[in-house]
Structure 1
Amino acid sequence: MSTVAQGGLQSQYSPILPRHFNSQQPPTVRLYPLSNYTFGTKENQPEEDPSVLARLKRLEEHYEQHGMRRTCEGILVCHEHNHPHILMLQIANAFFKLPGDYLQAGDDEIEGFKARLNERLAPVGSQFSGEGVNDEWQIGETLAQWWRPNFETFMYPFIPAHVTRPKECKKLYFIQLPRSKVLSVPKNMKLLAVPLFELYDNTARYGPQLSAIPHLLSRYNFEFVDENGHVVATTPGGGPIDGVKLQTKVLAGGEHQGQNGIKDEDMDG
């Protein structure tokens, strides 16, 4: 027997609750709805390199002057219909990328990372005002490190045994979004909200780094909060509302696609 409740089917029988099963886990993460956030656009930010070869050449020049390149990217999480979504950029309708970039040689890791996040996503001028416009980024723990052993496209989640001087290290950090925030994306890029199930086991579309994000987040339990600040579901025990179709959403940008696009299969990172 079942009854209709909160837009879906719900059994009239209470579930059998297992014994406590949350030992040794990080604190529960609170996720706010996508509708809490405001999205806009700003001036184009063309890619620095016209090709993969040019990008690798610039990496080689950086290594000769400064040593291993340090790259920082953020996993920004919110929810839609009680399912986690990741905010990411799409460039030239082909290349998917997390917000962030490589650090300048003299940059502090966290402060430099915040500056790169602002370059990509902070609003400019007087386009927006009020809550969430200039809130500082809350950089969480490192969730993954990817290594580039040589001046080539491949990156690995480990350093191969024969490599003693990797050319680049890319760190992925968890960023818990606040209750509200204003984000602006360059017009030549798209800002997407991608559900976890779309990323999972989808290396063909998103590559190994992005498709691994569901694994990285599986250690967390989530609380899903509605627009009024009320917890409406938790992990485990709550999922997407029945009958609601979850899919990737274009939040902003994409007005001038197509210049200098490096496809994701051409360059891991």
Structure 2
Amino acid sequence: MSIDRLYSVAARLQRLQNNYEDFGMRRTVEGIMVVHEHGHPHILMLQIANAFFKLPGDYLTPGETDEPGLKKRLDDRLAPLDPTMFEPEDGALNDWEIGDCLAQWWRPNFETFMYPFIPAHVTKPKECKKMYVVDLPERKVFAVPRNMKLLAIPVFELYDNSGRYGPQLAAIPHLLSRYNFILQ
């Protein structure tokens, strides 16, 4: 199986359908990490293949709860493979502070579209994606997979830019508008 086929949208949707038949609705958790750069909030995102952007996180295993699952996914995605080479201080792994759940997106069918609500005619959604605010630990070493880049995207770049980032990521400025950022 070629790499392109393995990661194509159609292949991802087929895996979703196969997993749905085996385990039920997929539950996904992602972290919104805000950093301040040049006096303006930015969101940490992973860029794949110079085109596709995503928040750090992934889907949960059946029976796994949101907060511990998100901490594990953040460690899997952003922590060094060999944490001893960076001399982590006590509890440096899994030291993420998970905050408010800012959004839930629902996939009603085996399609690419997700909605911030469950449509009235849908009784069994196929996926629920939750976005949580994640406070960055004071000292954290990030290690990103080779096929990805970790970028700080300015909030003003995301705003009303669903053409480039998609509706979920473009909604982040609206979701964060309930917070008052104080730069120190």
> Going by fraction, where is helix more abundant, 1 or 2?
2
Q: Report if the CA contact (8 A) 2:158-2:170 is conserved.
A: yes
Q: Are 1:111 and 2:76 counterparts?
A: no
Structure 2 vs 1, CA of residues 48 and 135 (structure 1 numbering), >3 Å: closer, same or farther? farther
**2-structure distance, mates of 1:141, 1:182:** 24
Partner of 1:267: none
Aligned Cα root-mean-square deviation (Å): 1.9
Larger radius of gyration: 1
**2-structure distance, mates of 1:212, 1:108:** 25
Q: Report if the CA contact (8 A) 2:5-2:11 is conserved.
A: no
Q: Quote the offset at 1:188 in angstroms.
A: 1.0
Percent identical residues? 68
Structure 2 vs 1, CA of residues 148 and 90 (structure 1 numbering), >3 Å: closer, same or farther? same
Gaps of 5+ in 1: 1-45, 226-269
Q: Quote the offset at 1:218 in angstroms.
A: 0.5
**2-structure distance, mates of 1:182, 1:212:** 28
Q: Are 1:159 and 2:91 counterparts?
A: no
Q: Quote the offset at 1:168 in angstroms.
A: 0.2
Partner of 1:169: 128
**2-structure distance, mates of 1:122, 1:110:** 17
User: Which TM-score applies when normalising by structure 2?
Assistant: 0.91
**2-structure distance, mates of 1:54, 1:186:** 21
Structure 2 vs 1, CA of residues 48 and 215 (structure 1 numbering), >3 Å: closer, same or farther? farther
- Larger relative contact order (CA 8 Å, sep ≥ 6): 1
Q: Quote the offset at 1:133 in angstroms.
A: 4.6
Q: Quote the offset at 1:135 in angstroms.
A: 5.6
Q: Report if the CA contact (8 A) 1:123-1:133 is conserved.
A: no
Q: Are 1:219 and 2:182 counterparts?
A: no
What does residue range 23-38 of structure 1 map to in structure 2 within 5 Å? none
**1-structure distance, mates of 2:122, 2:43:** 32
- Counterpart of 1:128 (choices 86, 94, 97) is 86
Partner of 2:140: 181
**2-structure distance, mates of 1:49, 1:223:** 43
**2-structure distance, mates of 1:159, 1:186:** 34
Q: Report if the CA contact (8 A) 2:72-2:94 is conserved.
A: no
Q: Quote the offset at 1:224 in angstroms.
A: 1.0
Partner of 2:12: 55
Q: Report if the CA contact (8 A) 1:202-1:211 is conserved.
A: yes
Q: Quote the offset at 1:178 in angstroms.
A: 2.8
Q: Quote the offset at 1:181 in angstroms.
A: 1.6
Q: Are 1:73 and 2:30 counterparts?
A: yes
**2-structure distance, mates of 1:79, 1:159:** 34
Q: Quote the offset at 1:211 in angstroms.
A: 0.7
Q: Quote the offset at 1:130 in angstroms.
A: 5.0
Partner of 2:51: 94
Gaps of 5+ in 2: none
**2-structure distance, mates of 1:47, 1:216:** 33
What does residue range 142-153 of structure 1 map to in structure 2 within 5 Å? 142-153=101-112
